[in-house]
Structure 1
């Protein structure tokens, strides 16, 4: 046994702290703070009190970093130097403090030949019940600090024990924390010895390795005394004996641990290691601050003084011991009394084993809670310092819903669900294949790493002098690029981006007329490469470009598709200029920050570095280390999920004019991700805000406000809704580049909401159902030259009405006005009405459908959706068929004024569109939806005018 003395000349002073050295005990300080180091306070303790070490923990750092000003200068420097997450900020500053403290204590380490002079830094408290991650973290921190007088704190939990052994075998100094029971201490001491033996067996030196076993004291008395007090109050027959045990069990427990240390130190096994230069693992008394004012404030110092021990004291306890503590050899004294105390505690059923087991669990939880508080404080300060570099969110939630949102946030915090999500743990959702669809989590870093490839492509596009870019895609392949085109417009010196996502023949022809095919870059965007629409659009435009460019047509084509897809084969065969690969582990609606969004962004001349840096800022803000209440993605997801579960399942999206198209992208993300299994969030985009009386109690409102060009009418409408008690989230974007941040925020939030709703947010079963029905119809056309016949259940001039038997029976045989009135009257409070128009989407039809939907909204006070087919099939179509059965659907089809042939196919674009409409309608009917199809024959404009008038009449009071 090695008895450590203080340096000569200090042990006879009147300072009780220095006198501890006479008895082989080292005083350490359980406190660290930058100003305390920088102003010489720590050095003064070393010099005047014989201080020999420092321990730290999250609670200590939380007070200093989150609420003081000591760290503000470095904090600001870190935030401004680049994109960092909160754990990186905390660790950078904490390690700097640990290094500085280690330098102050290095002379002590030198003087004591490595027995004392240590500073402790804790592995992440989240790892308390995980072995391998703890080992990895211990190695990383040991290397990052790079000081020989560092001790890495590892909890003495059951999973922590093998990590301790491994760390010691690798020469890492370890401070073992969270020890309460004798059995746990025995396991830890065994791990230390076994680790040294492992090292020795490898032929490596066992000298110069230090460890302490932190045995917690006062917390035991805290729980035992509470049990005693409860029994005494209840009139227990052994009340006097029980009262005699107050404040004694923890000290007795510690004394027995020390006896075990002495026994092991005398064993031949230890002597062999000692002879090889090994130092003992000293017992460290932790949690020595007195909680009960009935006891002396130096109780857990006075009674636990002995050789080869450490007492780490909080500042108040150290001050008290300096003032009136008594240094004496007490640890080995009165052992019979200590054993009697424990025997009595056992006889009286105070359950010390149960208490210590609870304290370990509570300790792990408390350390994690403290770490949450620390990281939350760091995150809040980071957000404040970042200013408008990160788009902010502000929630206005009525009390009855606010509680539900907070419950969801607290559940995510307690369960560590944010970390599980980033760890790709499918149990966050349904435990199925979700882990296979999470590559979007780190796609921003991936694209930043490959930025040079994208910028090189951008330079080549500019050099080639293209005037236009025509992107052909559907759903996730088109909606993200459309946001970029609508938000940023044409960039100087670059071609204009057009996004075509329709099989309507008039729309196809309109886009063809809008570009100069001889100077157009065509991007064919299809993840699977097997989606019908991109394939026939590619066939059509490749044929057209070939007529002006001949055999060089392929030089004007670029493909974005997953590796090995059918589209990749087509692109190779046709000599495409470039092929960019997507990620198979990213679903289409989560793909905007992958090549499906970044390739068109590059081609149109967007500043890719600035754009991706913005996306990275939000990804860092949503990191695994950011606690839920400070995590923008989790906050939004909890708001959506918890209110959705409470019946507020219509997510009404209001966006500033400069970023208006974000709503179309959000529609797909929310509807396709959450609308399934009869649950889900129904996005309502483009509904012009109205006064509060127009809305029911089934909505939440998401207001995406562009701060540098707000809309006064929108501001006023949103404030009125807040005042009326509607749940509103205001998301403020400082500039259009922060659209990149919203892409990531909403992807993350949708994944969170899916978890809270209890669904898999990464599949789309009902989209596939519509595709199957469409394929049946196009196959039938290929075989017979016509689509299968259908008979309307009623007609009225140029209008024919179609429905399944159940719906037809409910709607009767009347004229246009009667049928529409019967249909729309089925919409009740909590329902929504969706207008699904399979016609060309242009300014005229957009104006018409908007007028019609607002008439319905204002008269019936229900949410309305205004969609164009087949575009919405790859978007909101999933929620309409698989989500809650609260939709009333009016599908609108029409004769095509002119059709467009599909090269090398029997069917035309008009036939494909008709097949898609019928397939869509068949699935709606099969799912029992309230659905009516109105087909307009003849002139579309006049037909829509009459239909609009009939809708307004049908909903009029």
Structure 2
């Protein structure tokens, strides 16, 4: 269940302002659900309720094969080809890095160009039995392309011809350089639907194969996404959380607020915040329009950005994402909490008021106090409360944000599915690399 509250954004997001926006919201919702609108770009919208035949059996079988052949999976991708997978695995299998103790280790590469980072990863893999999962629609993106071929070469040195049995490719099923290369090499392939862009692809094999490898029940994730699909179909301001969230953001944007800070209180939400940032940044930041999507992780960032948020220039509003169960597993009714997270009685005088309290008590108190202080400081706040079983809730959250993002793009008057701005630096970078010896700035 996802609930959006806008009371903390008064007077900017008032009932009257929302009512005045209703005709635009109806038009945006109509465009979103019109199958002829943006045809070929909205496959994500109907994905949760469609029958995908044997695709999920194939994904699960591939994940089982990877886990039987390897003891760590390296997912190579960038942007939408890795952020969603990383968000899901971090939320549901925290600590599933190489040294982690939960689930099957899944690590990520190909999202930057640091030699040092890649060499450290290769060193870590020397004592392991790795598999590569390469995720790219075209195969032409610089960072994952470079990392893939370096990691592939490393595997081939170690395993020879059998290295191909450790390489899996998620790519366009019909065309593209990576598809052609995978066919030539005999790598096992899974499809990226041609009508779904990277940042909207979490619920496809792009995100679900790494999740399944990590030991996550992807069927439950998809069940949650279907619930989100059902909720987001409604043309109901108060019954459709995606419409209310998109409307509140748009009203704040129209009144001069320039930055939306997604606030989370659990470290495992950090990668979800990065996925959210790409989703909204690439979908809405164009034609000189759009909110700047930032994220803050409290309480840590209160000790670096808390001063600015409380008393700095009034340019940002907060969207507090309160995810039920994002902390440690809660004790069953009637059972005491884990004593390791209960502060003992024998504390120093300055900490006496903490004695007997568990860390989650402090977290809840901090959230309430921070929200109250920031509201009094003139910071508008939206609050998104998300409750439900872990895997299902993640699927529901993903679809909710995707729907709200697309609606917001229509309200802004921009195409929420393209990203022409990123091509500018790519053209210049490719020209430099093709011109001969690499020159710096």
- TM-score, structure 2 as length reference: 0.81
The 3-state SS of whatever aligns with 1:580 is strand
2:422 match: 767
- Residues in 1 aligned to 2:126 and 2:87: alpha-carbon distance in whole angstroms: 22
Q: Deviations over 1:169-226 (max 9, x none)?
A: xxxxxxxxxxxxxxxxxxxxxxxxxxxxxxxxxxxxxxxxxxxxxxxxxxxxxxxxxx
**Cα distance change of structure 1 residues 399 and 493 upon mapping to structure 2, 3 Å threshold:** closer
- Residues in 2 aligned to 1:599 and 1:532: alpha-carbon distance in whole angstroms: 22
Q: List runs of 5+ in structure 1 lacking aligned partners.
A: 1-389, 427-433, 791-957
CA contact (8 A) 1:523 1:557 kept: yes
1:409 match: 22
2:356 match: none
**Cα distance change of structure 1 residues 629 and 409 upon mapping to structure 2, 3 Å threshold:** farther
**Cα distance change of structure 1 residues 534 and 400 upon mapping to structure 2, 3 Å threshold:** closer
1:922 match: none
1:363-512 residue pairs with structure 2 within 5 A? 390-395=1-6, 396-402=8-14, 403-413=16-26, 415=27, 417-426=28-37, 434-446=38-50, 449=53, 450-464=55-69, 466-487=70-91, 488-489=93-94, 490=96, 495-500=104-109, 501-512=111-122
- Residues in 2 aligned to 1:598 and 1:520: alpha-carbon distance in whole angstroms: 19
Q: Residue 701 of structure 1 is aligned with which of 318, 340, 364?
A: 318
CA contact (8 A) 2:310 2:379 kept: no
**1:686 matched to 2:305:** no
Q: Deviations over 1:239-296 (max 9, x none)?
A: xxxxxxxxxxxxxxxxxxxxxxxxxxxxxxxxxxxxxxxxxxxxxxxxxxxxxxxxxx
**Cα distance change of structure 1 residues 743 and 650 upon mapping to structure 2, 3 Å threshold:** same
- TM-score, structure 1 as length reference: 0.39
The 3-state SS of whatever aligns with 2:39 is helix
Q: Residue 396 of structure 2 is aligned with which of 741, 762, 767?
A: 741
Tell me how many residue pairs correspond in the alignment. Answer: 385
CA contact (8 A) 2:49 2:229 kept: no
CA contact (8 A) 1:408 1:756 kept: no
1:536 match: 146
1:194-343 residue pairs with structure 2 within 5 A? none
1:628-707 residue pairs with structure 2 within 5 A? 628-657=237-266, 658-686=268-296, 688-689=301-302, 690=306, 693-707=310-324
CA contact (8 A) 1:652 1:683 kept: yes
Answer with 451-460 or 709-718: which moved more: 709-718
Root-mean-square deviation over aligned CA pairs: 2.2
**1:591 matched to 2:201:** yes
1:85-100 residue pairs with structure 2 within 5 A? none
Shift of 1:520: 0.9
The 3-state SS of whatever aligns with 2:414 is coil
Q: Deviations over 1:658-678 (max 9, x none)?
A: 323211111111111111111
The 3-state SS of whatever aligns with 2:215 is coil
**Cα distance change of structure 1 residues 480 and 685 upon mapping to structure 2, 3 Å threshold:** same
Q: List runs of 5+ in structure 2 lacking aligned partners.
A: 328-359
- Residues in 1 aligned to 2:383 and 2:137: alpha-carbon distance in whole angstroms: 33
2:381 match: 728
Q: Which has the higher contact order (CA 8 A, sep 6+)?
A: 2
Shift of 1:483: 0.9
CA contact (8 A) 1:525 1:559 kept: yes
**Cα distance change of structure 1 residues 399 and 696 upon mapping to structure 2, 3 Å threshold:** same
**Cα distance change of structure 1 residues 463 and 570 upon mapping to structure 2, 3 Å threshold:** same
CA contact (8 A) 1:560 1:582 kept: yes
1:556-955 residue pairs with structure 2 within 5 A? 556-563=166-173, 564-576=175-187, 578-623=188-233, 625-657=234-266, 658-686=268-296, 688-689=301-302, 690=306, 693-708=310-325, 709=327, 711-712=363-364, 713-734=366-387, 736-737=390-391, 738-780=393-435, 783=436, 785-787=437-439, 790=441
Q: Which has the larger radius of gyration?
A: 1
- Residues in 2 aligned to 1:697 and 1:581: alpha-carbon distance in whole angstroms: 45
- Residues in 2 aligned to 1:717 and 1:410: alpha-carbon distance in whole angstroms: 35
2:341 match: none
The runs of 4+ residues in structure 1 deviating greater than 6 Å are none
